[in-house]
Chains A and B, each alone.
Chain A
Amino acid sequence: MSERMKVSSNPHIRSKVTTNGIMLAVVIALMPATGFGIYNFGVRALAVILVTVASTVLTEFLFGLYKKKATVSDLSAVVTGLLLALNLPATIPLWMAALGGVFAILTVKMLFGGLGQNFMNPALAARCFLLISFPTAMTAFECDAYTGATPLAALKAGEQVNVMDMVMGHTAGTIGETSVIALVAGACFLLALGVIDLRIPGSYIVTFVLFAGIFGGRGFDPAYLSAQLAGGGLMLGAFFMATDYVTRPITIKGQYVFGIFLGIMTGIFRIFGPGAEGVSYAIVLGNLLVPLIERVTKPVAFGYQRGGKRA
C-alpha cells in the first residue's frame, strides 16, 4: 500500500457556506445603514462605530487569550460591535460605547460559553444595559443636523411627521436605525444569499402593523401605520436582530410564533408603554422565551402525525 487516504464518516462532501462567510455577509449587509449613519450624523458617528467594534473585538480577543482559544477570527464580534453601534445615538460618550461593547461580549456572550451559547442577542442586551444605566445619554438624539425628538416620539405626542424623510433616514435616532431604504437594501442582500428568510421579519412586521392598526387609536390610517413601520428600530430589529440565529427558535413553526410574539410586544411597548420605542425590549424578551417556544413547536417527524401517531 503506497497510497495514504483520509477516512471519515459520511457524507464526504460539504457545502461552501461557512460561519465566517455568514458573518461577513451580515457585515456587508449592514454597510449601507452604517454608511448612511455616518453621512447623516457625521464623523462623530464614525467614532462611535469604530470604538464599539474595537471594544467588542478586543474583548473577544483578550478573552480568547485567557481561555487559550482564539475565536476572534470568526467575525462574530465584528457583527455584534457593528450592530451595537448602529443602536447607539451618535452623541453618546465614547467610553459608554466601549463599555457597551465589553458588556455585550464578556457578560452576554463569553461568560455563557461563547459563540452559539448566549441566550440573548449580545448587541441588544448591551443596548438595554446602556439604556437602563445611562438613560439621558442614550436618548439624547440632538446633533448638528437635527434637534428635538425622534419621529416616533413626535408621533406619540400627536405631531405630524414626514414619512418620506423617515424612509430616507433624514431624521433623529440611533446611528443605524433611521434609513429604511439602507436597511431594506441590506436585508435584501441577506435574503438573496439565503442567510436570513422572511419568516421572522415577515410575521413580526405583519403582526405589528395589525396590532398598531387595531390598538393604535388611529385605525388603519396609512400615514400613521407607515410612520410606525419606518420609525424607531423596527426595520433594524426585524431584519438584523430578531433573525440572529443563536437567539431565535430553530424550529420553523417556532420562528413564526417568535415573530408574532415580537410584533405584539413591540406594539404594546410602543402604544401602551411610557416610551415611544419598544423593539429592543421586545426582542430581548422574545429571546428569553425561545426555549419554551422551541419546546411547543417541536417538529413532527416524517411519517408521524402530531401527537406521535403514524400518518
Chain B
Amino acid sequence: MAKFTFVGGIHPYDGKDLSKDKPIRDILPEGEVVYPLSQHIGAPAKAIVKKGDRVLAGQKIAEGGGFVSAPIYASVSGTVKAVEPRRVVTGDMVMSIIIDNDKKYEAVAFSPKAPLEDMCREDIIDCIREAGIVGMGGAGFPTHVKLCPKEPDQIDYVIANCAECEPYLTSDYRRMLEEPEKLVGGLKILLLLFQNAHGILAVEDNKPDCIELLRKLTKEEPRISVKALKTKYPQGAERQLIYASTGRRINSSMLPADVGCVVNNVDTVVAVYRAVAQGRPLIERIVTVTGDAVAKPQNFRVPIGTSYRELIEAAGGFKVPPEKVVCGGPMMGFAMFDLNVPTTKTSTALLAFTKDEVSAMEPGPCINCGRCVEVCPGRVIPSRLADCAEHFDEEAFLENNGMECCECGCCSFVCPAKRPLTQEIKSMRKIQLAKRKK
C-alpha cells in the first residue's frame, strides 16, 4: 500500500515564502527571442523556417526530428534573424532559431482539432506530439513517447507530479492555485488514454491550500484522487514519487510503465489540456524568479525563448550583486555564468543568491559519518561511490550500484566535510552512460 513517503531524503530551508504569495504575472519579451532546437531529450528538432521569414506567435518553426523528439513553436511574432549556434543554460552551444521580436505579438488563431468526445486515443496523442509538449519538470522527455507504453491497458496509475519538492520553486504551486481546473482537465484527458488507470494528484503536504482546492474540484471524479505526500526532498523525483503514491518500486533500468505508472509534471498536464482542449501549442511556461539577491521575487508567465536577463529585469533586477545564479532549483539546477541565455520548455526558475554556500567551504576528508547513506533515496553508499569515481575504479563503482544514483544532491547537501559527492558520482555516471551507448 502507499506510504506517502520514501526512505531517505532531506529537509533543507525551503525559501518558498519569498515568492509563493506572488500571483503569476505575464511578461512579454523585449529583445530577440531564441529557440534552441534541442530543448528536450532525443533528436534535435529540424528548423523549417529560414532567415528573413516572418512568423507569428504559435507558428511552428521546427519539426520534430524523429519519434523521440518534439516540434518547436514561435512564442512571439517577428522575423527570423538567424539560425545559428547559441549558448544555452548548461553552457553548451546549441543550434537555435533566433527571432527578431516585432513587439506586435500577433498570434495565429488557436482552435481545438475536434471536440474531445470525438477524439480517439491516436488523435489525442497526435495533438500532444504536435503541440511540442515535453516533460516540464526538468528532464524534457517528449510527453507523447511517455504516453505510448507497449500495453496502455496495463497502466494502473496516471500520476500528476505536483510535489514541487525543490526549495524556492513556487511555479507549480501558483499554477495549481490559479488554474487548478486546467490541471484536473489535463489529467482527465490523460485518463482517456488509459482506460484502466486511476488518476493521482500527488501534492506535498506543505501546500494544504492546493490539496483542499484539488480535493474540492475532484470530489465528483471517481477516477481521480488527491494524495498528500510528506514534505521532503526529493519527494518529486520520479522513482520516489511512484513509491510514495503507489508503493511500487522501480530502479534505474526500468520505466514507470513497467510497474503500471505514467508520471507527468503539473505544467506538462496543464500543457496537455491546453493542447487537446484548446489547440494551443507549448509556447509559454511559468518561471519563478527568486532568491535573496532578487529585488522583487515573483512568478512569471514567460513566452518560451525569452532571455533570463529580461526575467531578472522584470523582477526589479538584483538588490545586491549575486555571487551565484542558478537556473532551476537549488538542488538540481545549473549554475549560470551568463544571463543572456534563453528560457526553454524545461525552465522552472531563476535563483540568485548573495552568498554561494558551495565555494564558502573547503572540502575536507571524509569522516565516514554515514549521513550520505542515511539520506540517499537511491539506497546506495554515496561516499564510497565518490571514492570509486575519484580513483576511476569503474568496476567497484558499478558493483556498488553507482548507476542507481538519481543525482538528487542530498549527499552533497548533508556532507559535514563538504565533499562534492554528487558531482563526483555524476561525472562517473556520465562516462558509464556514454560507454553503454557505444
Does A21 make an interface contact (CB < 8 A)? Answer: yes
A15→B338 CA distance, assembly (Å) = 27
In the assembled complex, B322 has its CB within 8 A of some CB on chain A: yes
**A74 lies within 8 A of B373 (CB):** no
Do A116 and B335 have beta carbons less than 8 Å apart? Answer: no
- A18 cross-chain contacts in B, Cβ below 8 A: 361, 416-418
Rounded to whole Å, the gap between the CB of A201 and the closest CB of chain B is: 15
- Is B377 a contact of A1 with CB atoms below 8 Å? no
Q: Do A22 and B369 contact each other (CB < 8 Å), given the known contacts A10-B333, A13-B167?
A: yes
In the docked arrangement, what's the CA distance between A8 and B91, Å? Answer: 12
| A21→B252 CA distance, assembly (Å) | 36
Q: Are A301 and B356 in contact (CB-based, < 8 A)?
A: no
Question: Distance (Å) between the CB of B244 and the closest chain A CB?
Answer: 12
**A267 CB, nearest partner CB in chain B, Å:** 26
A13's partner among B331, B365, B423 (CB-CB below 8 A) is: B331
Structural contact, A13 and B416, CB atoms closer than 8 A? no
Docked-complex contact A13 and B361, CB < 8 angstroms: no
**Contact call B381/A22, Cβ cutoff below 8 A:** no
Which one of B32-40, B97-105, B407-415 is at the interface?
B407-415
Cα of A11 to Cα of B419 in the assembled complex, Å = 11
Please, how many angstroms separate the alpha-carbon atoms of A252 and B239 in the complex? 22
Which residue of the partner chain, among B322, B351, B366, contacts A3 with CB atoms under 8 Å? Answer: B322
**B370 contacts A301, C-beta separation under 8 Å:** no
Residue of B13, B339, B384, B417 contacting most chain A CB atoms (<10 Å): B417
Contact between A12 and B251 (Cβ–Cβ < 8 Å)? no
B186 at the interface (CB under 8 A from A): no
**Whole-angstrom distance between the alpha carbons of A5 and B318 in the complex?**
13
A251 to B369, CA, bound (A): 10
Contact check, B322 vs A115: say whether CB atoms are below 8 A apart.
Answer: no
Q: Which residues of A contact B359 (CB under 8 A)?
A: 6, 8
Q: Are B332 and A301 in contact (CB under 8 A)?
A: no
- Given B356, B365, B366, B380, which contacts A6 in the complex, CB threshold below 8 Å? B356
**In the assembly, what is the distance between CA of A3 and CA of B339, in Å?**
9
How far apart sit A117 and B412, CA to CA, in the bound complex (Å)?
A: 20
Residues of chain A lying within 8 A (CB to CB) of residue B422: 9-11
**Closest approach, in angstroms, between the C-beta of B102 and any C-beta of chain A?**
27
* Residues of chain A within 8 A of B333, CB atoms compared: 10, 12
Cβ of B291 to closest chain A Cβ, rounded Å: 10
- Cβ-based interface call for B222 (8 A): no
Q: Are A14 and B413 in contact (CB under 8 A)?
A: yes
Task: Tell me whether A19 and B364 are in contact (CB under 8 A).
Answer: yes
State the CA gap A84–B358 with chains docked (Å): 35
Near A by CB (< 8 A), chain B positions 378-408 give 378-381, 383-384, 400-401, 404, 407
Per-residue 0/1 for A107-121: is the Cβ within 8 Å of any B Cβ (1 yes, 0 no)?
000000011110000
What are the interface flags for B1-15 relative to A under an 8 Å C-beta threshold, 1 for contact and 0 otherwise? 000001100101100
Contact residues in B for A13 (Cβ distance below 8 Å): 12-13, 167, 330-331, 357, 413
Interface size class of B (residues with CB under 8 A): 35 or more
We find that the number of chain A residues with CB closer than 8 angstroms to chain B is 40
What chain B residues lie within 8 Å of A252 (beta carbons)? 370, 373-374
Q: Is the CB of B413 within 8 A of A245?
A: no
Closest to A290 in B: B368
Please indicate the chain A residues that have their CB under 8 angstroms from the CB of B380 in the complex. 299, 301
Specify which chain A residues have a CB less than 8 angstroms from the CB of B338 in the assembled complex: 1
Q: Are A12 and B323 in contact (CB under 8 A)?
A: no
Tell me whether B371 is interfacial, beta carbon within 8 Å: yes
Complex alpha-carbon distance, A311 and B252, angstroms: 12
B324 touches A303 (CB 8 A): no
Residue among A9, A76, A311 with most chain B CB within 10 A: A9
Q: Considering the chains assembled together, what is the distance between the CA atoms of A1 and B361 in angstroms? A: 27
Determine if A132 is an interface residue (Cβ-Cβ < 8 Å). Answer: no
Q: Does A299 lie within 8 Å of B356, measured CB to CB? A: no
CB-defined contacts of B252 to chain A, threshold 8 Å: 303
Nearest CB of A to B380, in Å: 5
Chain A 177-220 against B: per-residue CB contact (8 Å), 1 yes, 0 no?
A: 00000000000000000000000000000000000000000000
> Contact between A11 and B384 (Cβ–Cβ < 8 Å)?
no
The reply to whether the CB of B175 lies closer than 8 angstroms to some CB of chain A is no
A300 at the interface (CB under 8 A from B): yes
1/0 per position for B164-178, CB-CB distance to A under 8 A? 000100000000000
Return chain A residues, CB-CB under 8 Å to B426.
Answer: 9
B325 contacts the other chain (CB 8 A): yes
Cβ contact within 8 Å between B367 and A12: no
Question: Which residues of B are found within 8 Å of A15, using beta-carbon distances?
Answer: 10, 12, 413-416
State the Cβ distance, A50 to closest chain B Cβ, in Å. Answer: 26
B335 & A250 in contact (Cβ 8 Å cutoff): no
Are A17 and B414 CB-contacts (below 8 A) given A245-B367, A250-B368, A302-B378? Answer: yes
B379 with A7: CB separation less than 8 A = no
Q: Does A68 contact B (CB under 8 A)?
A: no
Say yes or no for B250: interface residue by CB 8 A criterion. Answer: yes
* Residue of A5, A17, A115 ringed by the most chain B CB atoms within 10 A: A5
The smallest C-beta distance from A27 to any residue of chain B, in angstroms, reads: 15
A5/B325 contact (C-beta < 8 A), A10-B331, A250-B384, A304-B251 known: yes
Contact (Cβ within 8 A) A11 B414: no
Binary contact track A251-291/B, C-beta < 8 Å → 1, others 0: 11001000000000000000000000000000000000000
Structural contact, B370 and A6, CB atoms closer than 8 A: no
Q: Is B326 an interface residue (CB 8 A)?
A: yes
Residues of B contacting A310 with CB < 8 Å?
249-251, 254
**How far in angstroms is the closest Cβ of chain B from A257?**
14
25 contacts between A and B (CB under 8 A): A1-B338, A3-B321, A5-B325, A8-B420, A9-B423, A9-B426, A10-B422, A11-B331, A12-B333, A12-B351, A14-B357, A14-B412, A17-B414, A17-B416, A18-B361, A115-B364, A251-B373, A298-B381, A301-B404, A302-B251, A304-B251, A304-B404, A310-B249, A310-B254, A311-B249
List chain B positions with a Cβ less than 8 A from chain A. Answer: 6-7, 10, 12-13, 167, 239, 243, 249-252, 254, 318, 321-326, 330-340, 351, 353, 356-359, 361, 364-371, 373-374, 377-381, 383-384, 400-401, 404, 407, 409-410, 412-418, 420, 422-423, 426
* Contacts A18-B417, A22-B416, A301-B404 supplied; 18 other A-B pairs, CB < 8 Å: A5-B322, A5-B325, A6-B359, A8-B420, A13-B413, A14-B357, A14-B413, A17-B416, A19-B364, A114-B365, A116-B366, A245-B369, A246-B367, A248-B368, A252-B374, A299-B380, A301-B380, A302-B6
4 nearest A-B pairs in the assembled complex, by CB-CB distance: A303-B251, A11-B409, A9-B423, A301-B401
Q: Which residues in A have some Cβ–Cβ distance to B below 8 Å?
A: 1, 3, 5-15, 17-19, 21-22, 74, 76, 114-117, 245-246, 248, 250-252, 255, 298-304, 310-311
